[in-house]
Structure formats: structure tokens, C-alpha cells
Structure 1
Amino acid sequence: MKKNSLVYKLILTFTLILAASTILVAGTLSFWFKQYYFNQKKSELDKQSLIIENAAISYLTLDKSSNLTTLNNVIDFVGSAVDADIFITDNMGYVYAVSNEKDEKYTYSHLGISKEQMDLLKKGQSISYSQKADDSGKGYVFMKPIFNGKYFSGTIVMTTSMDSINSEIFKVNEVIWITAVIAIIIGSIIVYSYGKRKLTMPLTKITTAARKLASGDVDSRLEIISNDEIGELAESFNIMAESLRQIDSNRRAFISNVSHELRSPITSIKGFISGILDGVIPKDKEGYYLKIVYDETDRLSRLINDLLDLSAMETGKIKLNMQELDISVLIRQCLAKFEGTIRKKGIHVNVTLENAHQYVMGDMDRITQVITNLLDNALKYGHENGEIRINTKSKGDKVFVSIYNDGPTLNQEQRVKIWDRFYKVDESRTNKISTGLGLPIVRLILTEHNEDIWVENYKDNGVEFTFTLSKI
């Protein structure tokens, strides 16, 4: 994993957060346990001091000679139980009983209880504190007053080594911090493993697939199943790759179709002209073949013009000149262009216009091109001596223009593909007279007008194209 990668930085950040959180918890637990242990120690010493207090009162109120031994036995036992040295003082602070033989030197000497401490003891308050290193004593000190009835009779002083206390605290802290270190290590491994599985590996796959896609491998796909942003990214990548594959497929098909459509007339033109120049074609037949060359040249010109129009519209280079136009008049004008073809095929044209003058918004030249292409399509696919019907009808703020021909109906696949470039429903009938670009151009023009067009089979026979225009 690269150190400057985003995933590495994320994993490192999560690990540091985990480590900081664990250390904070461990430090808090250590501090809490230290306070808790001291409180427990104080509570333990306080409970044991009750036994000593009873023995001390008995010593003070009964036969001192016989009960001193009992008192010493009690403080010896308690001292061993709580691991503490115990001193019993009178109400002036002088020691008269000790639990440890080596502390007998303090007997009948003042223990050094300060006036402030003595005042607190006389008020019935217990005192606990830790002695400093340079002070006499053994570390932790607990003092509890002895009361005989209402009278202050002395003090129980219990001292325990800080080493023993600290050793217990150290053991617990050791467990806490070892657990914290183990938790950090295990957490880091889990974060790394999870990050590698959920981030590094999927992103590596996406990067590899993206590079393949950039190199032209449009069939590259990702198999990442995840219900998070990585999964959404992989799904978006696959959608993009599929879109690019489709675009590449369309590009290849377009190039193939253009090559075929251009090669066919060029081959015919070249062959016939070559025949004329070489004298292969007789003089009396030259006019006939020159007519074919002219038709092929016209076909080539139409193909190039359609391609230029299609390219210009797809790249948004054509600017519409929106104006008010009379669609009824425009339909009649476009129909007049095809009078010769209509008579030649014996086609009956039925025109039903809702109004003699119906005004709509549109680009005059482009809407003329739409109507012309649809009429041309109807004449190509309509039957000899058949029928073409043209209707206009307004609904709401739209005018619907319908052009029907009695040609063969379209199946579902054909109804979808007729809007594709170079698609021809009947290649044998229209190969020489159609470029296969008319309907795609019609759809692009109407899309630029924010209008719609659709095709429907008319009952049991015939096809009807309908498009909309905005009414004024």
C-alpha cells in the first residue's frame, strides 16, 4: 500500500484514533483504580480499627495491666491482617502500645501528631494521607480517634508501606496497559484487514478496470458486491463501461455503414465512367449510364448532406430560428414537391387539416425538413396505388401532425430501431433511394424543438407517424 494513498491515510487515521481512544480509556481506568484502591484501603483500615477501639477502651476502663496484653495481641493480629504497623496513643498523642516490636522505641514518646490533626481527631474525624519521602513513617497513614463515651481518649494510628500499595496498583495497571496494547494491536490488524478488504482491494480493482477501459477494453467490468459508496462507484463504473461499449459499438457500426453507403455509389460511378473512358460502353448507351452516374452522385450528395446535418445537430451547432409559422400552409407546400412521385405511384393522398391556418412555433426550414422526410418515408414504404393520409389536430397547447401510409406494419424491434442511423426496414426496396438517416434527423430536429414524435401501427394495416408542435 502506497504511503501517500488516500486509503493508507484513512487506515492510519483510524488506527491513531483507536490508539488514542484506548490510551485515554486505559489512563482513566488506571487513575480510577488508584483512587478506588485507596478508598478500599481506607475502608478496610476503618473497619479493623473498630476492633482495636474496643480493646483500647477496655484497656482504659478496666484493669490496665491485664488488658494491655490483650490490646497488644489485638493490634498484632490486626496489623498482620492488614499489613500495617499500629500505634495507640493517649489523648495527648503519646504512644502506649505498638504492634511491631521494632517500633517499641516509640513507646511513651510523642508520635508527632500536629495540633491541626489533633483538633480534627477530637471532633471525631478520621484522617488519612500519604507521607512524603523525606518524612518519618512508612507511607500511607490512617488515624482514627478513640472515644470513651463522649470523651476523647486517644488515637489509633495505622501506617502501611506505600510499596505494598503501589505493588498492587502496579499489578492492576500492568494488566490494564497490557490489555490496552493488545487491543491497539488487534484493533489495528482489524482496521487494516477491513480497510484492505473493503477499500484497498475494491479501489485497486476499479483502478485496474479504469486503466483497461482507457486503453480501449470496453468489455472490462467490475464484480464488486457492496451496499456502500464503493458498491455504488462500482455500479456506476459498470454503467459507464456499458455506455462506452454501446458508444463504441455504435461508432463501429456507423463507420461500417458510412463506408458501405459511400463505397456503393463511388464504386458505381467509378465503374461506369471507367467503362465510358475505356470505350467498353457503346456510344449509344453512354447517356443511359451517365444518367445512372448522375443518380449515384445525387445519392452521394444526399448522404453527405444528411451526415453533415446529423453531426451538426448532435453537437448542438445548429441554431434554431424560432418563429411563427402556418403548419397547414407548410404541409400543402411540402406535399406539392412530391406531386410527380405521387402520380407515378398512383397514390391517393387524403389531407384533413383542422384549420385552414394553424399557427405554431418552430424553425421554418427544419420543420419543412421534418415534414419532407416523413412524406418521403411514406412514399417509399407505401404500396403502389395505395393511400397516404395527413391529419392535424390541436389538443391543449399542442398541435398533433399525423402522416399515415398503408405500407407493412412494424414489429416491436423495428419500431425501436427505425430511429437508429442507417437502419432500413426493407433493404431490398430502399437501398438505392434511402440513406437511412431521415428518421434520426427528424427525431433530432423535434428534440431540439422540445417536441416529441412516435410511430404506431394503424389498426391491421399501415403505419402512422405523429409529431407535436407548440400552438400559438
Structure 2
Amino acid sequence: MNKITKKLFRYYLIIAVCLSATVFIGFCGVLRYYMIHHHLEEIQDQIKSVKKQLEWMLCEDSAQGRGAYLKYLEDVTLADIYVINKDGSPFTCGKNPDSEKTPPDEVQEFADTIFASEEYEQQKQENSDILYAGMPVEIQGEVTAVIVFVDTLKIDRKSFFISATILLVCLLFSLILSAILAAFLANRFMHPIQKIATSVQEMIHGNYQVKTDVYDKNEIGILAKETDILAEKLDTADKDRERMQQMQKNYITNISHELRTPVTVLRSSIEALHDGMVPEDKIGDYQEQILTETISLQRLINDMLELSRLENEDFPIEKESVDLIIILEDAIRTMRFIAGKRNIQIHYQNTEQEWPFIGDYGRLRQMFIAVLDNAVKYSDDGKNIWVEAFTKANHYYISIRDEGCGIPEDKQKLIFNKFYRSSYERTSGTGLGMAITKSIADRHHIEIRLHSIYKKETKLTFIIPISIKEIENDTKKTHSPSMII
């Protein structure tokens, strides 16, 4: 039995004992009142019976009968009975035949009270258990005498003790049974709480897959359900943390790998120039190689910095009212010049006049150029690229489709990963372009869908929300006039 169970059990015993004591004391008080009240009713009934008999005897004027009746009362009554005539001639009978016939002063005063009221009266003597009860005797409507009973107002102690003992035994028996039941219920009440506590202990030690297995339809059940939800969220957070740690390791590994090649080339070229091992006619080639590697290294560093900024939600981007059609056409004009060098045609189809939007002009243009650049790089000379813009279901749709090498199905979910590059031999780059594109789209609440058939085509679709109000609300949270990227 744990501490809380013991405390609950202790509280129950205190309450049960208090209730039992209250019931016992109340029962004894009620029983005593009932026994006294019953005794008073018996005395009143006896007085009425004696009155009735005496009135009959007085009417018959039977002195012999009165004597016999008084003798009978002397044998059976438990009280002293005084019959006091109106003319003051008293006579007595009862359980003490040796007493004087003249009633005590208290009895005489009580009899005078009855003569005055002509009704049944009862009175308890102060500081004692002696009770006076009396009733007038009437002959032809006139009070001629008074009957006075003097008795001790006592309860039947034996009956009272037996009744109280029976009740006490019943209460003790009930208390024992209820204590056993209380211990059982306390343990049952604490069982789900112990399960929850065990689950919490498991979570403290890193086991977030634990379940409470508590399904009660009460507050404890709600607590258990919330604990299970907490465990699931902690498990998800732990897996995300492990994934992020692995991504950081991979990121560092990829950065090291990407930096190693240009740095190695630069070092070897500079060392060769420094040591004078390069013929004079080759010095220009070495210098060109150093410049090329330096530009590649600078582009890699810039892309890494750009991606880091975009992935940081606290880093604001400049959003303003723009026209997506103008941004898209600007990107197409830029890429047509590059595609033309390889005789690749970019076909643009648009039925819309303008698409108002809240966003960063430069970032959105960079997003479209990155996708168009990939379409050009992964297409053979003389191929075609189709760009289409249309509106559907409260969204803008921009699709870019090429006739390039396509992406294998098992690689399609990797293209937005950092440093991912296709094995297509003609391509080169940092492997961060699509990751940057995805980050720009996420910051503008733009969904990207990919459809690719290996060695045939690739189609990438931007789904852009039209609701300017929703975008403006987001802009208020992220826009900072003092910071422009």
C-alpha cells in the first residue's frame, strides 16, 4: 500500500469513525427520549384507568369496593398514589404501606394546582428524578378529588444497555467491513494513477513509446490520455531531434566534402606556382583554374548562407504587393538567353493578365529561375521546355515541364535535400538550388508538386494561394521594414 493509498484509507477511517460515533450518540439520545416519553404515557394511562374506576366507585358509594380496589393498587402499582378529596381528607396507598397517610407538602401543592386547572398535570421535581402526575376525579361534572402519582422518572437501564450494545456491535462490524472495502477501493483508485506514474518514470528515462493503458471515463482517464499524447509528442520530438542531429552530421560531412575539392585544387595550383614548377606557357591556365575554383567556392558559400537565412523563420523577408505574372515572365526572359545557347526553346502559355500577390519579388524570381535552370541543365540540346500559368480553385498554378532525363522514382523525394545532385553527367552545381527553392516556397505558403518519368520528362508545379488577406496576415508577422534581403 503506497503513501497516497494509506492517506486515503486513513481519511476514510476518520470519517467513518466520526459518522459511527455520531450515529451511536444520536441513537442513544433518541432511545432515551423514547423510553422516557413512553414511561410518561404509561403513567398517564394508569391515572386515567384509576380515575375511571374511582369515579364509578364514588358514584356507587361502595366503600368496601374502594378499599378492595385500593388494596389491589397497593399490590400492583410501581408508584405512590395519593387520592386527595376536595375537602382535604387524604388517604394513600401504594408500594410503601408504612408511610403516613397524609401526603407531603409538595404533593399537596401539586394537588392544589390540579384543583385549580381541573386538567391533567405533570411536573418534575427540581434536581431529582421524582415525577408528579395527577388528574381530577369528577362526580356529576364536579371535581371532588384528585389522583396524584409520585414516581421516579427512570428509564429501563437493562433495555437501554441491550439496545445500545446491539447498535455498537453492528456499527463496529460495519466499520470493519467498510474498512476492508475502503482499502480495496483505494487500491483500485490508485491503480491507474500508479500506471500513469510508471509511464512518466519511463519517459524520464527516455522511453517515449510507453502507454498508460488506462481507459477510464473520468478525469483520471483524461489525464492518462493526455499523458499518452505527451509521450507520442515527446517520441516524435526525440525522433526529430535524432534526425536533425543526423542531418547536421550529414550537413557538416557534405560541407567538408564540397569544400575539400576546390580547396585542394587551389592549394595544389598555388603550391605549383609558388615552387616555380609551372611552365610559363601554362601559368595562365593555372590562374584561370584558380579563378574558376574560387568562383565555385564563393557560390557554394553564398548558397549555404542563403539557405541558412531562409530556413530561419525569425529572419524576415521583404514582402510587398507584386504581380506573379511579371515575375514569371522576367525569369523566363533571363533563362531564354541561357537556353538559347543550347538551342533549347522555352514555350510560355498564359491566359491571365495579372496575378496580384504579397511576396518578395527577388526571392520569387530566384525560385522560378532555379527551376528553369534545372530544366535547362537536365535537357539535351534542341529540346523544349513548357511553362504554363492558369487559375483553378482559388489558387494560381504555374507548371514547368522539360524533356530531360527525368528522375528515378526512388530519388524523387530527395531532390529538395541539401547537397543532392543527380548523376546526370552534364550537370554541375552546389546541390543547394532546389533546397533554396523549397525554402522560398515555404516562406510564401506555396506548395510544390513533382511529377517525373525517368528518361522522359519532369514536371514541377507551383500551387499558390490567391487569398491575399491570409498572406497579408502572415506578412504582418514576418515583415520588418528595417530588414531587406
The two structures have a TM-score, normalised by structure 2, of 0.69
Contact 2:82 2:103 survives alignment (8 Å):
no
1:154 corresponds, among 146, 154, 161, to 146
Q: Which residue number corresponds to residue 251 of structure 1?
A: 241
Counterpart check, 1:333 vs 2:297: no
User: How far off is 1:242 after superposition?
Assistant: 0.7
Q: Cα distance 1:109–1:158, how it changes in 2: closer, same or farther (>3 A)? A: closer
CA distance in 2, matches of 1:181, 1:338: 97
- The answer for unaligned runs of 5 or more in structure 2 is 453-457, 470-485
Q: Which residue number corresponds to residue 33 of structure 1?
A: 31
Contact 1:53 1:156 survives alignment (8 Å):
no
Contact 2:370 2:433 survives alignment (8 Å):
no
User: How far off is 1:406 after superposition?
Assistant: 6.7
Residues 275-424 of structure 1: pairs in structure 2 closer than 5 A: 298=299, 302-303=303-304, 305-310=306-311, 312-313=312-313, 317-339=314-336, 346=344, 348-352=346-350, 354-355=352-353, 357-365=354-362, 367-368=364-365, 371=368, 385=383, 387-393=385-391, 400-405=396-401, 422=417
Counterpart check, 1:227 vs 2:228: no
User: How far off is 1:263 after superposition?
Assistant: 1.7
Counterpart check, 1:242 vs 2:232: yes
- Render the CA deviation track for 1:265-293: whole Å, top value 9, x for unaligned: 523643675588679x9999988899689
CA distance in 2, matches of 1:381, 1:169: 108
The one-letter amino acid of 1:72's match is: K
Q: Cα distance 1:194–1:345, how it changes in 2: closer, same or farther (>3 A)? A: farther
Percentage of matched positions with identical amino acids? 13
1:209 corresponds, among 173, 183, 199, to 199
CA distance in 2, matches of 1:214, 1:22: 45
The one-letter amino acid of 1:323's match is: E
CA distance in 2, matches of 1:42, 1:342: 123
- Render the CA deviation track for 1:225-268: whole Å, top value 9, x for unaligned: 21111211111111111111111112212222332344245236
The one-letter amino acid of 2:91's match is: Y
Contact 2:386 2:402 survives alignment (8 Å):
yes
Contact 1:354 1:391 survives alignment (8 Å):
yes
Residues 97-136 of structure 1: pairs in structure 2 closer than 5 A: 97-100=92-95, 102=96, 104-110=98-104, 112-113=106-107, 115=109, 118-120=112-114, 123=117, 125-133=119-127, 135=128
Contact 2:303 2:432 survives alignment (8 Å):
no
| Secondary structure at the counterpart of residue 46 of structure 1 | helix
Question: CA RMSD, aligned part only?
Answer: 5.0
Higher Rg = 2
| Secondary structure at the counterpart of residue 318 of structure 1 | coil
The one-letter amino acid of 1:306's match is: L
CA distance in 1, matches of 2:379, 2:100: 131
CA distance in 2, matches of 1:103, 1:386: 143
Q: Which residue number corresponds to residue 96 of structure 1?
A: 91
Q: Which residue number corresponds to residue 68 of structure 1?
A: 67
CA distance in 2, matches of 1:139, 1:40: 16
CA distance in 1, matches of 2:27, 2:379: 91
Q: Cα distance 1:21–1:214, how it changes in 2: closer, same or farther (>3 A)? A: same
- Render the CA deviation track for 1:140-173: whole Å, top value 9, x for unaligned: 55444444453333224162452x4355445444
- Render the CA deviation track for 1:19-41: whole Å, top value 9, x for unaligned: 55555455444433333333333
Report the number of matched residues.
Answer: 444
User: How far off is 1:106 after superposition?
Assistant: 4.9
CA distance in 1, matches of 2:343, 2:133: 124
- Render the CA deviation track for 1:309-332: whole Å, top value 9, x for unaligned: 32x21xxx1235442222222222
User: How far off is 1:391 after superposition?
Assistant: 1.8
The one-letter amino acid of 2:210's match is: S
| Secondary structure at the counterpart of residue 156 of structure 2 | helix
CA distance in 2, matches of 1:219, 1:346: 54
CA distance in 1, matches of 2:226, 2:373: 42
Counterpart check, 1:165 vs 2:162: no
Q: Which residue number corresponds to residue 188 of structure 2?
A: 197
| Secondary structure at the counterpart of residue 112 of structure 1 | helix
Contact 2:336 2:345 survives alignment (8 Å):
no
| Secondary structure at the counterpart of residue 329 of structure 1 | helix
CA distance in 2, matches of 1:422, 1:306: 11
Q: Cα distance 1:156–1:229, how it changes in 2: closer, same or farther (>3 A)? A: same
CA distance in 2, matches of 1:221, 1:308: 40
CA distance in 1, matches of 2:336, 2:242: 39
CA distance in 2, matches of 1:250, 1:8: 42
CA distance in 1, matches of 2:29, 2:264: 104
Residues 19-30 of structure 1: pairs in structure 2 closer than 5 A: 20=18, 23-30=21-28
CA distance in 1, matches of 2:138, 2:330: 127
The one-letter amino acid of 1:70's match is: Y
The two structures have a TM-score, normalised by structure 1, of 0.71
CA distance in 1, matches of 2:106, 2:73: 24
Q: Cα distance 1:116–1:71, how it changes in 2: closer, same or farther (>3 A)? A: closer
Contact 2:319 2:359 survives alignment (8 Å):
yes
CA distance in 1, matches of 2:111, 2:400: 115
The one-letter amino acid of 1:197's match is: R
Q: Which residue number corresponds to residue 52 of structure 1?
A: 50
| Secondary structure at the counterpart of residue 155 of structure 1 | strand
Q: Cα distance 1:126–1:209, how it changes in 2: closer, same or farther (>3 A)? A: same
CA distance in 1, matches of 2:318, 2:21: 73
The one-letter amino acid of 1:248's match is: D
Contact 1:86 1:98 survives alignment (8 Å):
yes
The one-letter amino acid of 2:461's match is: E
The one-letter amino acid of 1:247's match is: A
| Secondary structure at the counterpart of residue 209 of structure 2 | coil
Q: Cα distance 1:41–1:217, how it changes in 2: closer, same or farther (>3 A)? A: same
Q: Cα distance 1:170–1:275, how it changes in 2: closer, same or farther (>3 A)? A: same
| Secondary structure at the counterpart of residue 315 of structure 2 | coil
